[in-house]
Amino acid sequence: MVPLSYYLVLSAILFACGVAGFLIKRNIITIFLSIELMLNGVNLSFVAFAAQLNKLEGHIFVFFVMVVAAAEAAVGLAIIIAVFRTRETLNVDRVNLLKL
Amino acid sequence: MIPAVDYIRILPELVLSIFGIIVMMVDPVLPEQSPKKPLGVIAVIGVLAALAATAYQPGFYGSAFYNTVSVDTFSVFFHVVVLLIALVVILISFEYLDVQRIRSGEYYALVLFGTVGMMLMSAAVELVLIFIALEISSISTYILAGMRRRAAESAEASLKYFLLGSFATAFFLYGVALIFGATGTTNVYGIAHYFQTQQASVLAYLAVGLMFVGLGFKVASAPFHVWTPDVYEGSPAPVVALMSTGPKAAAFAVLLRVLFATGAPGWFWMVWVSAALSMTLGNIGALVQQNVKRLLAYSSIAHAGYLLVAFAAAKQVGISAAIFYAASYAAMNVGAFAVIGHFASEGEKYVTLDDYAGLGRRSPLLAATLTIFLLSLIGIPVTGGFFAKFYVFSAALQSNLVGLTIIGVINSAIAAYYYLRVIVYMYMRDERVEAPVARIPAGLGVGLAISLVATIYLGVMPGRVLDYAIQSAQDLLK
C-alpha cells in the first residue's frame, strides 16, 4: 500500500503548482485553470485522509467541492466573457482600469 | 427521519430561498424593458418574512440536521444583522437600478440567495455546510459586482473579485482538508473536543493558518486586502453596501465559530499581526484617495483590523465586542454607501471628492446624513461607532494587549483626518462641477432612515444589543 505521506506530498505539489500558476500566468483562462488545479490538489488530500482514517466525511466533501467548482466555472466563464466584451483582451495586465 | 423542529431551525433560510425562487419565476413574466421594481417589492416582503421567522426561532434553540446547523443566540443575532443589511440594500436598489438602467430582475434574487448563504454561514457547525454557505454568498456577490454589465470597470471588478475570491476559497478548503486529517472530523464540536483533549499536531497548526488566509481574504484584512479598493470602486454602490458588510460579518462569524470557539492553536500572533497591519495599511491608504468609494474601501480594511483586535483579546469579552462591532459597522457603512450610490447618478459619474464640494448647500439633508455616518465611522460619541471601538479597545486592554491598543488608538486618530476631509469638502468648499442632486425617493428614504436609526440607537442605548452580544458569546463558548 502506498503510504499516506506520498498522497499528501503530491497534493501539496499540485496545490503549489496552482498557486504558482495563479501568480505567474497572465492569461485569465489559465489563471482560472490554476485555481481548479488547487481545488483538485485539495480533493486528493481529502480522499487520502478519508481512506486513511476510514471516515466518509472526506469522500462527501470531495463531491461537494466538485459541484461548487462547476458552479464557480459557470459563473467565472460568464464573467470572463463580460470582461472580454468590454476590453477585447484576456491579458490580466491589460485589464487595468482600476489601479491595483 | 428528520424531526419537524429541524425545519423551524432553518426557517429563515427556507423562507428567503423560496422568495428568491419566486423572484426568478416572476421575472420572465414581466415585460423585458420595464423597471423591475415589483420584483424588489417581492424581495422586501421575503426579507420581512425571514425576519419574522428569525423572531420565531428563540423558542427552538438547538442543533438540527444531524448536527450541521446550530440555532442559538449567536446565529439569531447574525441572522438579524444580515437580514437588516439585505433589507436596506434592496430598498436603496430600487432607485439605483432605475437610474443606472439595469433591467435584470435576477439582481434581487441574487441578493436574497447571497443573504441565505451569509445566514447559513453564521448558523453552520459543520465544515461541509460552512464551505457551501461561503460559496453561495461568494458566487452571488461575484455576479452582483458585475451587474453594470456595459461598464468596463464593473466587469473588471467582478473578475478581480471572482479570481481572488476563488483563490482564497482554495486556501480555506486546503485548511479544512488538513484539519480533517488532523482531527478526523469536520464537525466544529468534534474539532473543539479534539483540541481540548489532545495535543495539537503540526498539521493542525498548518490547517489553522491556511483557514485564516482564506477567511482573511473574505473579510479583507491585511495582508490579504489588495483586491478590496479595486472591487469596491468598480462595483455598483448598493452591492458594495452589501458586500462590505454582509459577507464580512458572516466570515467573522465563521472565524469565531471555527477558530476561536474551538480553542484552535496558533492563531494569536497571526491575528495580532493581521490586525496591526490592517489598521495601519488601511488608514494610510485612505489618506491619499480622491475617489470616495475607494476611500471607504480602505476604511473598510481598517475596520476589519479593529475587529481583529477584539479577536486577539480574551475569549468572552473579545467575542461580544467583535459581535457588537460587526453590527454597528454594518449600520453605518450600509448608510454611507446608500448616500454615495444616490449621489453618483447615472453611470456612477460623481464619485470623487471634488464632486462632493458644496453638497452641504445643494442637498443639506443628504449631506447631514452622510456626515452622521462618517462621524460614526470615526467613532464620535452618540454614534454606534463610538461604543463599538470603545468595547473593542477595552476588551483588548482587559487582556493586556497594550501594544495593539496603542496602534489602534493612533490609527483612529489618523482615520479622523480622511473622514473629516469628506465633511470639509461638503460644507466648506465651493462647488466646481454642477453635480445634480435628485430628490430622495421613498425606498432610499426608508433605507437611510433604518441605517440612521440603527447607528444612533447603538450610540445612545447600546445596552440591549450588547446584552445580546454577551449572551451570544456565552452560547458560543458552551
- Taking CB atoms within 8 Å and a gap of at least 24, the contacts of B93-96 are B93/B40, B93/B238, B93/B443, B94/B37, B94/B40, B94/B441, B94/B443, B94/B444, B95/B342, B95/B441, B95/B443, B95/B444, B96/B236, B96/B237, B96/B238, B96/B341, B96/B342
Give me the numbers of helices (H) and strands (E) for chain A, helices first please.
3, 0
- As a whole number of angstroms, the distance between CA B48 and CA B248 comes to 22
A22 touches chain B (CB under 8 A): yes
From chain A, pick out residues whose CB is under 8 angstroms from the CB of B127. Answer: 61
Record the pTM: 0.95
**Residue B116 burial (CB count, 10 A):** 25
pLDDT for A96 beyond 60: yes
Cα end-to-end distance, chain A, whole Å: 49
Q: How far is A94 from chain B (nearest CA, A)?
A: 11
Give B354's contacts (C-beta < 8 A, 6+ positions apart): B290, B425, B432, B433
A33 touches chain B (CB under 8 A): no
- As a whole number of angstroms, the distance between CA B129 and CA B142 comes to 20
Residue A91 DSSP code? B
Phi, psi of B62 (to 5 degrees): 145, 180
Quick one: B273 exposed, middle or buried, by C-beta within 10 A (0-12, 13-18, 19+)?
A: middle
From chain A, pick out residues whose CB is under 8 angstroms from the CB of B177. Answer: 11, 42, 45-46, 49, 58, 61
Q: How confident is the model at residue A100 (pLDDT cuts 50, 70, 90)?
A: low
Cα end-to-end distance, chain B, whole Å: 27
Residue B291 DSSP code? B
Q: Structural domains in chain A?
A: 4-87 (1.10.287.3510)
From chain B, pick out residues whose CB is under 8 angstroms from the CB of A35. Answer: 163, 166-167, 170
Q: What is the average per-residue pLDDT within A74-100?
A: 86
Phi, psi of B70 (to 5 degrees): -125, 120
pLDDT beneath 50: ranges in chain B: none
**Residue B423 burial (CB count, 10 A):** 18
Query: B132 and A64 in contact by Cβ < 8 A?
Result: yes
Nearest to B135 by CA among B256, B271, B298, B254: B254
Give B346's contacts (C-beta < 8 A, 6+ positions apart): B99, B100, B101
Cβ atoms of residues B69 and B129 within 8 Å: yes
Size of interface A-B (CB pairs under 8 A): 122
Q: What is the predicted pLDDT for the residue at A99?
A: 67
Amino acid letter, residue B101: R
Distances (CA, A) of A6 to A11, A13, B180, B343: 9, 11, 17, 58
Q: Locate cell 442559538: which residue? A: B72
A90 touches chain B (CB under 8 A): no
Nearest to B296 by CA among B241, B215, B223, B253: B241
Structure-block grid coordinates of residue B150? 456595459
Cβ atoms of residues B240 and B232 within 8 Å: yes
pLDDT for A39 beyond 80: yes
pLDDT for A38 beyond 90: yes
Encode pLDDT of B140-185 as tens digits: 999 999 998 888 899 999 999 999 999 999 999 999 999 999 999 9
Cβ atoms of residues B188 and B126 within 8 Å: yes
